[in-house]
Structure 1
């Protein structure tokens, strides 16, 4: 991997974060159903990447990096309770991919 590859991947990641921050209508459960990952997964992956470089980052700090604000604040503003339909679709998706 070249420095250019890393720069382009970083730019694409920043664009993904920007997109997810503006698409507050797309719930994490919807992302999990359709894509098998959500904003919290991205935060976990970010934290794991930091750990491989000897950087200790707690879950809240990683989530704030992904959400652009503290997770509790984002959740209160944008994340309603999952509907029964979403929960059923999530359970079906979990069965399909495990």
Structure 2
């Protein structure tokens, strides 16, 4: 099957929106867990979103892109849902962390 450029873009956008919804619902999954298992987290997504905006010539702040991904201001999300990482989580992060973080 051959998708048009517009179809591919629309399907990718729909998948991204579904991913955001899923991550917003799964507040029990911490960013460090995502980083340790998948090598990216909500903050990575917000950085990639901001990079795409920058490429399109649209200025988007770090805080604005994080609010898009988290569905609320980042500081509010952290206060509500972020827990202190365990020693094991921190050690795994040091072992698995991408070089650009």
Secondary structure of 2:84's match?
coil
TM-score by length of 2: 0.91
Structure 1 stretch 8-17 or stretch 80-89: which is displaced more? 80-89
Unaligned runs of 5+ in 1: none
**CA displacement at 1:65 relative to structure 2:** 0.1
Counterpart of 2:38 in structure 1 is 35
Question: RMSD between aligned alpha carbons?
Answer: 1.1
Q: Does 1:24 align with 2:24?
A: no
Alignment deviations for residues 6-38 of structure 1 (CA, whole Å, 9 cap, x no partner): 000000000000000000000000000011100
- Find 1:61's aligned residue among 36, 59, 64: 64
Greater share of residues in helix: 1
Aligned residues: 96
Where in structure 1 do 4 or more consecutive aligned residues deviate above 3 Å?
A: none
Match of 1:9 in 2: 12
1:93 CA displacement: 1.3
